[in-house]
């Protein structure tokens, strides 16, 4: 029986004391900042906690829930929250990797699996998707994003929300294997100066509206019930207390009526920002900008009652926040069934083999082939001598990536394991000592030199440890670490037939890498099925189809580097002197947004535009697989508005389609572009649709393709 929600909540709020109400707005956590579940038992009995972060185990969740339901006056159940970003027990590729599949339906599938696993462990609410458009690889959390393009962040963000929450009938409870999603971080967090996490953000309303806001707009349209505030100050005001963004934009412009939760301790940190003089001010201000839940700072629980009793805060403001918390608990059916699962069920769900099968499929589609000189790939296992070396060929610990939840180190399949399970032929050897020996001795011995020289091909796995990626892991340099570069250069002198496999969580500056290898494969941090997926691609069992969703620089100094930039009044040109350039480096990326190679070749021809009516344009192109292997091509359509009421990007991804073609097979691909797809926001967030000429380019990446134009 579905309780009549609004009446139920209203009656419950009328029965609640002020203390019980404020308790619902207090979220505590057991993650790295301290706090233990046993410490919370008494706080729960005193109705001082509404939700708990990072409990992660069903028996603990049930024990704490039992206290809330049976040992408090009103028995209001707890919400259990967790950062289920890219998997719970089955860890999928990091979001940046998954976005390179350009396959949002797979992202929805991985979110649905993550939800089922997390829900079986007692979790109700995930703090995902992170939809911060990320243009700066120095920022460690680019790993959690869907890259530098807002359209992809929109599509993948909505896919994740749908996967986590499912679609439910009006007035029906969310099903037991789903999670409440949370769009984060509102707003501008990824534009931190210097790419340094938590650093200051300053940007025009025009940029905020047209780059960072659209993924949140789409997430809200998709029904995301919660949003999280960001740590950073935005244009001089902490994002957690920013009336312009939280009230004027989020609540009024985007019509978000859901629950707003702060980031970890962010409310207290408004004092550190030098904005709130004290916690009482922070609490009052947060209530005024409709922040509903205080994550872990305890500012609400320590100050709201006094503010009400002193007449500085209306109790009704608290009631509104409590209503939003209780709505989530109603939607989850917690008042009727507060216990989601048990240990046997959790074990059964988290050990489903099909989850790893899907993880392997997503991992394969996330891999991007960046270079394949002399067709060094795919490998001919058994027909050529192959040597597998490098720091990350068999290091499970280094693979356990950022936000890997309940993922276990032993669950990860290394590249060495992937080859071993594929059946390592006599002609292949795996040497996981040569790198450490080189680092120790700064040279190779004669046996090692002979081993390197005599093999046909070398597979070298380089990159970053997962611990170098994610929150608070910003880097000042995007180059590979010196030891890895030295090792690569030493080996290349002995044998140039090298395929580098990169395992990393950010775009790297690879200028001094691409000249020391023939093959280059971007394999990211792919989660538990990494080794299997990488071997599937290296051996040609899967023809790589991934495309970069972040621009890869030549050197760090080019960053922030992104494809959808403005033209400037002095765009770079070889012929002129005073143009926008570096005197010591190209301004071009090493590998552009949308770039990725295949073992086959796709030809594009016959681009045509058919106007359907005055605001709908049908664009078609013919794709032919002219190569030796079947494969998937991600056909990308970009537009460029030549003249606008504001300066406009030189390139904007407007749509994309995946096409699978056998050798010699042709297919006509059509896109429908509406005038509305070419509109944008002015700095007051009003939509603008300029008239004029729009260049249209359809191709295999953001730099190359067939070109035409349409006129609005
Ligand atoms: C972290 C992150 C946020 C996460 C929260 C809870 O600091 O910024 O994304 O959801 O705290 O772990």
- The three-class DSSP label of residue 292 is coil
**Ligand 1 center from residue 205 Cα (angstroms):** 25
**Ligand 1 center from residue 677 Cα (angstroms):** 33
| Segment 569-576 long-range contacts (CB within 8 Å, at least 24 positions apart) | none
d(CA 91, CA 93): 7
Beta carbons within 10 angstroms of residue 344's beta carbon: 10
pLDDT digits (tens, 9 = 90+) for 158-194: 999 999 999 877 777 888 999 999 999 999 999 999 9
Number of residues that make up the chain:
712
CB–CB of 53/261 below 8 Å?
no
555: left (phi over 0), alpha (psi -120 to 50) or beta: beta
d(CA 92, CA 85): 9
Reported as a pLDDT band with limits 50, 70 and 90, residue 32 is very low
d(CA 50, CA 57): 18
The per-residue DSSP string of 532-575 comes to HHHHHHHTTSS------SSPBPSSGGG-S--SS----SS---SS
Q: Whose Cα sits closest to atom 10 in ligand 1?
A: 127
What is the 8-class DSSP label of residue 551? P
What is the 8-class DSSP label of residue 557? G
Give residue 57's pLDDT: 85
The percent of the chain in helix, strand and coil, each rounded to the nearest 5, is: 35, 20, 45
Pocket lining: 671 vs ligand 1, CB cutoff 6 Å: no
Which atom of ligand 1 lies at the shortest distance from residue 184's CA?
Answer: 9
Taking 60 as the threshold, does the pLDDT of residue 35 lie above it? Answer: no
Taking 60 as the threshold, does the pLDDT of residue 109 lie above it? Answer: yes
11-27 mean pLDDT: 98
Which atom of ligand 1 lies at the shortest distance from residue 130's CA?
Answer: 9
Q: Could you tell me the two tokens for 628?
A: 């030796």
Selected residue with higher pLDDT from 170 and 491: 491
Q: Could you tell me the two tokens for 354?
A: 């099909």
Cα dihedral angle (566, 569, 570, 572), rounded to 10 degrees? 20
Pocket lining: 292 vs ligand 1, CB cutoff 6 Å: no
Burial of 99 (0-12, 13-18, 19+ CB in 10 A): buried
Mutate to test the pocket of ligand 1, among 54, 83, 190, 199 (most ligand atoms within 8 A of CB): 83
Cα angle 629, 630, 632 (rounded to 5 degrees) comes to 125
483-511 mean pLDDT: 97
What is the helix (H) or strand (E) element at residue 678, kind and residue range?
Answer: none
Give residue 645's pLDDT: 97
Buried/exposed 63-96: b ≥16 CB within 10 Å, e otherwise: ebbebbbeebeeebbbbbbbbbbbbbbbbbbbbb
**Ligand 1 center from residue 307 Cα (angstroms):** 28
Q: 630 preceded by cis ω (within 30°)?
A: no
Mutate to test the pocket of ligand 1, among 118, 264, 268, 404 (most ligand atoms within 8 A of CB): 264
Dihedral sign (CA 244, 245, 246, 252): positive
Beta carbons within 10 angstroms of residue 540's beta carbon: 15
Give the distance between the most distant pair of CA atoms in the chain: 82
Q: Active-site residue 395, yes or no?
A: no
CB–CB of 165/223 below 8 Å?
yes
Pocket lining: 31 vs ligand 1, CB cutoff 6 Å: yes
pLDDT digits (tens, 9 = 90+) for 621-667: 999 999 999 999 999 999 999 999 999 999 999 999 999 999 999 99
525-538 mean pLDDT: 98
Give the residues across from 621 on adjacent strands.
Answer: 669
Taking 50 as the threshold, does the pLDDT of residue 94 lie above it? Answer: yes
Taking 50 as the threshold, does the pLDDT of residue 1 lie above it? Answer: no
Task: Find how far residue 307's CA is from the centre of its chain.
Answer: 39
Taking 70 as the threshold, does the pLDDT of residue 566 lie above it? Answer: yes
CB–CB of 532/363 below 8 Å?
yes
CB–CB of 648/641 below 8 Å?
yes
Give residue 341's pLDDT: 87
Instruction: Name the residue among 216, 197, 199, 228 with its Cα closest to residue 296.
Output: 228
**Ligand 1 center from residue 81 Cα (angstroms):** 11
Beta carbons within 10 angstroms of residue 676's beta carbon: 10
Residues 6+ apart with CB under 8 A from 576: 570
Instruction: Name residue, tokens 């969580």.
Output: 505
Taking 50 as the threshold, does the pLDDT of residue 235 lie above it? Answer: yes
In the chain, what percentage of residues exceed pLDDT 70? 98
Q: Whose Cα sits closest to atom 8 in ligand 1?
A: 263
CB–CB of 459/478 below 8 Å?
no
231-244 mean pLDDT: 98
Catalytic-labelled residue, pool 263, 292, 411, 536: 263
Taking 80 as the threshold, does the pLDDT of residue 611 lie above it? Answer: no
Q: Could you tell me the two tokens for 185?
A: 């971080």
pLDDT digits (tens, 9 = 90+) for 296-337: 999 999 999 999 999 999 999 999 999 999 999 999 999 999
Instruction: Name the residue among 21, 23, 31, 473 with its Cα closest to residue 264.
Output: 31
* 502 φ/ψ angles, rounded to the nearest 5 degrees: -100, 130
Give residue 33's pLDDT: 39
CB–CB of 90/55 below 8 Å?
no
d(CA 51, CA 28): 7
d(CA 344, CA 356): 20
Give residue 401's pLDDT: 78
Pocket lining: 264 vs ligand 1, CB cutoff 6 Å: yes
pLDDT digits (tens, 9 = 90+) for 501-528: 999 999 999 999 999 999 999 999 999 9
Instruction: Name the residue among 318, 455, 461 with its Cα closest to residue 393.
Output: 461
Residues 6+ apart with CB under 8 A from 234: 187, 188, 201, 202, 203, 208, 242, 245
Instruction: Name the residue among 348, 330, 262, 267 with its Cα closest to residue 303.
Output: 267
* 674 φ/ψ angles, rounded to the nearest 5 degrees: -95, 150
- The three-class DSSP label of residue 327 is helix
Which atom of ligand 1 lies at the shortest distance from residue 128's CA?
Answer: 10
Beta carbons within 10 angstroms of residue 258's beta carbon: 20
pLDDT digits (tens, 9 = 90+) for 550-562: 999 999 999 999 9
Give residue 34's pLDDT: 45
pTM over 0.85: yes
d(CA 311, CA 65): 34
* 370 φ/ψ angles, rounded to the nearest 5 degrees: -100, -30
Q: Whose Cα sits closest to atom 6 in ligand 1?
A: 264
Taking 70 as the threshold, does the pLDDT of residue 417 lie above it? Answer: yes
**Ligand 1 center from residue 266 Cα (angstroms):** 10
What is the 8-class DSSP label of residue 373? G
Give residue 83's pLDDT: 97
Beta carbons within 10 angstroms of residue 385's beta carbon: 15
Averaged pLDDT of the chain:
95
d(CA 339, CA 176): 10
CB–CB of 406/398 below 8 Å?
no
Pocket lining: 141 vs ligand 1, CB cutoff 6 Å: no
The Cα-based distances of 35 to 38, 118, 238, 471 in angstroms read: 9, 21, 26, 20
Pocket lining: 269 vs ligand 1, CB cutoff 6 Å: no
């Amino acid at each position: 029986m579905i309780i009549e929600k609004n009446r139920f909540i209203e009656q419950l709020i009328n029965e609640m004391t002020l203390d019980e109400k404020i308790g619902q707005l207090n979220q505590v956590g057991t993650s790295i900042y301290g706090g233990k579940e046993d410490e919370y038992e008494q706080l729960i009995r005193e109705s001082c906690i509404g939700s708990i972060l990072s409990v992660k185990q069903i028996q603990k969740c049930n024990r704490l829930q039992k206290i809330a339901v049976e040992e408090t006056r009103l028995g209001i159940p707890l919400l259990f929250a967790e950062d289920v970003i890219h998997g719970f027990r089955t860890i999928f590729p990091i979001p940046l990797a998954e976005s390179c599949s350009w396959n949002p339906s797979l992202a929805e599938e991985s979110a649905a699996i993550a939800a089922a696993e997390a829900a079986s462990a007692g979790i109700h609410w995930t703090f995902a998707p992170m939809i911060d458009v990320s243009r700066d690889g120095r920022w460690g959390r680019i790993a959690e994003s869907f890259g530098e393009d807002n359209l992809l962040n929109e599509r993948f963000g909505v896919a994740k929300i749908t996967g986590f929450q499912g679609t439910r009938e009006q007035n029906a409870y969310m099903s037991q294997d789903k999670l409440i999603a949370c769009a984060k971080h509102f707003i501008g967090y990824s534009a931190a100066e210097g790419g340094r996490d938590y650093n200051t953000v300053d940007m025009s309303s025009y940029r905020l509206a047209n780059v960072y806001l659209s993924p949140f707009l789409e997430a809200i349209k998709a029904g995301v019930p919660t949003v999280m505030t960001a740590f950073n100050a935005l244009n001089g005001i902490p994002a957690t207390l920013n009336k312009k963004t939280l009230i004027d934009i989020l609540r009024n412009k985007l019509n978000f009526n859901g629950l707003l939760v702060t980031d970890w301790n962010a409310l207290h940190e408004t004092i550190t920002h030098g904005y709130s003089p004290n916690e009482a001010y922070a609490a009052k201000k947060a209530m005024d900008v409709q922040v509903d839940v205080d994550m872990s700072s305890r500012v609400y629980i320590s100050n709201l009652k006094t503010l009400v009793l002193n007449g500085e805060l209306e109790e009704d403001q608290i009631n509104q926040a409590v209503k939003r918390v209780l709505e989530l608990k109603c939607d989850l059916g917690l008042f009727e069934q507060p216990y989601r699962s048990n240990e046997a069920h959790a074990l059964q769900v988290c050990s489903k083999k099909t989850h790893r099968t899907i993880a392997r499929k997503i991992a394969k589609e996330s891999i991007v082939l960046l270079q394949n000189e002399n067709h060094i790939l795919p490998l001919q296992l058994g027909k050529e001598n192959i040597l597998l070396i490098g720091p990350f060929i068999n290091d499970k610990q280094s693979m356990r990536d950022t936000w890997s939840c309940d993922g276990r180190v032993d669950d990860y399949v290394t590249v060495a394991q992937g080859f071993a399970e594929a059946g390592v032929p006599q002609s292949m050897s795996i040497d996981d000592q040569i790198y450490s020996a080189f680092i120790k001795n700064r040279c190779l011995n004669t046996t090692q030199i002979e081993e390197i020289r005599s093999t046909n091909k070398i597979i070298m796995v380089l990159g970053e440890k997962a611990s170098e990626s994610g929150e608070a892991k910003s880097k000042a340099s995007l180059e590979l670490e010196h030891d890895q570069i030295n090792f690569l250069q030493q080996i290349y002198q002995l044998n140039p037939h090298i395929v580098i496999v990169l395992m990393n969580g950010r775009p790297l500056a690879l200028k001094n890498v691409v000249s020391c290898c023939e093959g280059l494969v971007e394999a990211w941090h792919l989660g538990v099925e990494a080794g299997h997926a990488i071997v599937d691609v290296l051996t040609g069992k899967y023809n790589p189809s991934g495309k970069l969703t972040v621009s890869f620089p030549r050197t760090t100094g080019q960053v922030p580097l992104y494809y959808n930039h403005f033209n400037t009044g002095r765009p770079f040109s070889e012929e002129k002197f005073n143009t926008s350039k570096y005197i010591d480096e190209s301004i071009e990326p090493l590998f552009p947004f949308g770039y990725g190679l295949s073992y086959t070749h796709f030809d594009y021809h016959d681009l045509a535009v058919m106007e359907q009516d005055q605001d709908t344009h049908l664009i078609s192109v013919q794709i032919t697989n002219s190569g030796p292997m079947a494969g998937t091509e991600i056909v990308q359509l970009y537009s460029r508005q030549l003249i606008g009421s504001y300066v406009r990007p030189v390139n904007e991804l407007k749509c994309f389609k995946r096409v699978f073609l056998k050798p010699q097979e042709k297919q006509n691909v059509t896109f429908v572009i509406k005038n509305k797809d070419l509109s944008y926001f002015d700095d007051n967030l009003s939509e603008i649709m300029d008239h004029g000429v729009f260049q249209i380019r359809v191709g295999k990446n953001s730099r190359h393709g067939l070109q035409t134009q349409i006129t609005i």
